[in-house]
Structure 1
């Protein structure tokens, strides 16, 4: 059965991170702009490292905190309340999942050359997989990698590559073996940036407001032209034909990290809503006294509660080496919709103030819409979950094991 008891040392770490986010990161947001970004982030990172807060998910021997999945999930659910939280501890996406991929699959040379400066926070990395033609189907990518002497030469286009504009390293997936089985056609390459063969055409304009600060934070999504990009063979990551499998493993963690940060953002939005309705009066009565408002808050609380339980269950399975594929997809769908509902409700309760830029709610509202698309759209995950429900019934005569039936 699942033990929901959180170890005392984990509670202490969570409390320490919560205090750091609330008393250091969130106040720093007030003075943050494109000109102060470098100075403020450097100061936050010095303070974080002085407290032993660095790369929560990474092994201690690499300078990280070595947290297991449950502790990391609880920490991430605190960090996500501030736009500076994850950056301050060098646990921001897309770097974190890519660093884990490099750790697991990289050679000693790749660890020293590329991973070490990433863990130290000296460099940033982007992960270039997505293409316009492929969309949610990663096996539809067309970028090619042809072996030429001691190198591979890559050609193609990449689309929606997050943080490419601030990256010093790119991890690029390309097709090396077009005649191999579909999931063995792709390989992954480490590319040092800038590189004339890796050309950022533009930061794609999206429904979320683009700002110089946002781009500096790494929130941009780039369109890339890859033309005659020469990559040494020693930069092949994880072996030829292993790109797809490595990518799926990497995305698995990324989906969960998005979900953890979504819980944090939803919690901060609900806190803002509660504070506002306790202070706001209309028609001679506080908003907080109105039953309809209390119902709205109750619905948000229920959604956040379910979200926390999902993540704790998945963390439990991860710590015990159990398969969590089904739960990961279910949680990915739920958490993306949960944060939208809570932020939307908080915005509604703030009225015109919420629709303005005087609170972060309007920005959050437009940014979180992407959560239902990134790392696989809702529909793909629902399709996958539904297939697993049918398979469970065919195998067991019941759908229970595809619907949390192994909880006890």
Structure 2
């Protein structure tokens, strides 16, 4: 019996539509912005065209205005959108909004869906997610922000948040805080919807990072804010998913975010390899074309192999998700692999460009400083490896083999 890697015709069709969209609309729109056209005008035009073509919210069910794509088709689409930094934004598929849309869709009340989810789905508002704190870092159960009832139908939140991505561009914040310190560890936290601006949600600054920041970085949602939460009053109606559900919902939304990062990483790696290959086919050194040098061919081969493995990982995870299977182990391994893969491929592309690659005359240097974050965001490599390793040991103790934790149930 053969293993069938055939992509369904409808998935191939939507991938091709999105591929054309990105290359014919988003990439030229990038050039418009570089020539000085305001970002908001560019994005508004793109979104109007995208919606007219039915290219909107690929992962959201049709009854809520989306394309209703399953995990496989969405993965294919996201790998195309990642070829342009306007790709996901043009179809309202950008992070961190995307994962929060899914959380609100799954756990929001009718009131919350009408008041908060609908304008996000319509592209009228943006949202940020405030979970991370300095004191806790990768350990979400170490957060100290507190939420206490005031007896008047509200919660009062106090604390601080760190690296709240897109907060300076957001109209809504989803904030996690401790509501019951006496509950079991993973049931102490709850999530609240906060309309911005709000005097109790004070954005101190966008934290400077090593990433090369373009002129539209903040307004596109690229910033990572430090936030002080000072007597932030939130109505009980804005409690999302019920008390004690914050951690579980957070892990669910992060799981999607990790995959979306990985899908976009494949697109960026592919674009970097294309740039490198184009360069070496036009360049000669010491009387010989770079493309004819074995060392260069080995470098290109390693990049191609890494991208191939990455695609297979994502396709397998999409297959398991389509069939309702547990993807937690594969998701953790893929998150680490994909973050390191894109870093390696872009680094190799810079090396093949020589001094030109180190300059800002190509996008490679900016990509390089940006993607270093991939090994930290949504959980650093070491935490994912730790959990993956624990699952390897658990599988061996249960089955006498580690196969179940190492792709042994591949299909």
When normalised by structure 2's length, the TM-score is 0.98
1:367 aligns with 2:370: yes
Look up the match of 2:25. Answer: 24
Residues in 1 aligned to 2:214 and 2:308: alpha-carbon distance in whole angstroms: 33
Look up the match of 2:100. Answer: 98
1:328 aligns with 2:331: yes
Residues in 2 aligned to 1:127 and 1:212: alpha-carbon distance in whole angstroms: 23
Look up the match of 2:67. Answer: 65
Q: Are 1:144 and 1:154, in contact at CA under 8 Å, matched by a contact in 2?
A: yes
SS in 2 for 1:215: coil
User: For residues 114-173 of structure 1, what are the alpha-carbon distances to aligned partners after superposition, in whole Å with 9 as ceiling and x for unaligned?
Assistant: 000000000000000000000000000000000112000000000000000000000000
Residues in 2 aligned to 1:35 and 1:52: alpha-carbon distance in whole angstroms: 25
Look up the match of 1:278. Answer: 281
Residues in 1 aligned to 2:96 and 2:309: alpha-carbon distance in whole angstroms: 26
Look up the match of 1:182. Answer: 185
Compute the displacement of 1:333 (Å): 0.4
SS in 1 for 2:386: helix
Residues in 2 aligned to 1:59 and 1:365: alpha-carbon distance in whole angstroms: 35
Compute the displacement of 1:284 (Å): 1.6
Among residues 87, 90, 104, which one is paired with 2:89 in the alignment? 87
Gaps of 5+ in 2: none
Among residues 35, 39, 44, which one is paired with 2:46 in the alignment? 44
User: For residues 260-295 of structure 1, what are the alpha-carbon distances to aligned partners after superposition, in whole Å with 9 as ceiling and x for unaligned?
Assistant: 000000000001011111111111221111111111
Compute the displacement of 1:216 (Å): 1.4
User: For residues 210-236 of structure 1, what are the alpha-carbon distances to aligned partners after superposition, in whole Å with 9 as ceiling and x for unaligned?
Assistant: 344111111100000000000000000
Look up the match of 1:141. Answer: 143
- Higher mean C-alpha deviation, range 20-29 or range 81-90: 20-29
Residues in 2 aligned to 1:239 and 1:2: alpha-carbon distance in whole angstroms: 43
1:130 aligns with 2:132: yes
Residues in 1 aligned to 2:381 and 2:284: alpha-carbon distance in whole angstroms: 39
Among residues 384, 388, 394, which one is paired with 2:387 in the alignment? 384
User: For residues 345-396 of structure 1, what are the alpha-carbon distances to aligned partners after superposition, in whole Å with 9 as ceiling and x for unaligned?
Assistant: 0011111111111110000000000000000000000000000000000000
Look up the match of 1:396. Answer: 399
Look up the match of 2:322. Answer: 319
Compute the displacement of 1:35 (Å): 5.4
Compute the displacement of 1:2 (Å): 6.1
1:305 aligns with 2:322: no
Residues in 2 aligned to 1:162 and 1:331: alpha-carbon distance in whole angstroms: 22
Look up the match of 2:113. Answer: 111
Q: Are 1:2 and 1:407, in contact at CA under 8 Å, matched by a contact in 2?
A: no
Listed as ranges, the matches of 1:283-298 within 5 Å are 283-298=286-301
Compute the displacement of 1:187 (Å): 0.2
Q: Are 1:187 and 1:243, in contact at CA under 8 Å, matched by a contact in 2?
A: yes
Q: Are 1:2 and 1:316, in contact at CA under 8 Å, matched by a contact in 2?
A: no
Structure 1 residues 109 and 205, CA gap change in structure 2 (3 angstroms): same
Residues in 2 aligned to 1:72 and 1:29: alpha-carbon distance in whole angstroms: 23
Structure 1 residues 243 and 322, CA gap change in structure 2 (3 angstroms): same
Residues in 2 aligned to 1:135 and 1:221: alpha-carbon distance in whole angstroms: 14
SS in 1 for 2:216: helix
Q: Which of structure 1's runs of 4+ aligned residues deviate more than 4 A? A: none
Residues in 1 aligned to 2:214 and 2:283: alpha-carbon distance in whole angstroms: 31
Structure 1 residues 190 and 2, CA gap change in structure 2 (3 angstroms): farther
Look up the match of 1:10. Answer: 11
Gaps of 5+ in 1: none
Residues in 1 aligned to 2:212 and 2:346: alpha-carbon distance in whole angstroms: 17
Q: Are 1:57 and 1:65, in contact at CA under 8 Å, matched by a contact in 2?
A: yes
Look up the match of 1:55. Answer: 57
Residues in 2 aligned to 1:318 and 1:66: alpha-carbon distance in whole angstroms: 15
1:193 aligns with 2:196: yes
Matched pairs, number: 408
Residues in 2 aligned to 1:172 and 1:6: alpha-carbon distance in whole angstroms: 39
1:121 aligns with 2:128: no
| C-alpha RMSD of the superposition | 1.0
SS in 2 for 1:134: coil
Residues in 2 aligned to 1:278 and 1:189: alpha-carbon distance in whole angstroms: 54
- Higher mean C-alpha deviation, range 249-258 or range 204-213: 204-213
- Higher mean C-alpha deviation, range 33-42 or range 285-294: 33-42
